[in-house]
Amino acid sequence: MNTSVKTFLFALVVSCTFIFSCGKDSATGCGNNFYGELEKELTDLTDALTVYSTDPSEGNCEKYRDALKDYFDAFSGLRSCYGVGTSKAEFDAAIKEAQDDLDDWEC
């Protein structure tokens, strides 16, 4: 995996943590606190990234890739909480692009 992909994915994880880590739930059960919904996946992802960055072996790469897939799968499950109209289309496109990139990612 090249450095720009690593940097992008790390920045995405960090920004999602800060963007979605506060707020109150709405009446629909959707709020800005997506972190609570993604806590396990985000913790697993952070742990896998830490291990992979210190030991970029094939096994650690696969664990990191799997953690990213789990994170995006869980994040996709929050689609109903994410905006309407164009926002949902952008959300869907971003998730699809990330998942497609992960499907093509070889360790």
| pLDDT class of 27 with cuts at 50, 70, 90 | very low
N-term to C-term CA, the chain: 7
What is the tens place of the pLDDT at every residue in 77-106?
A: 777 776 656 677 887 888 888 888 888 888
User: 30: Cβ–Cβ under 8 A, 6 or more apart, which residues?
Assistant: 78, 80, 81
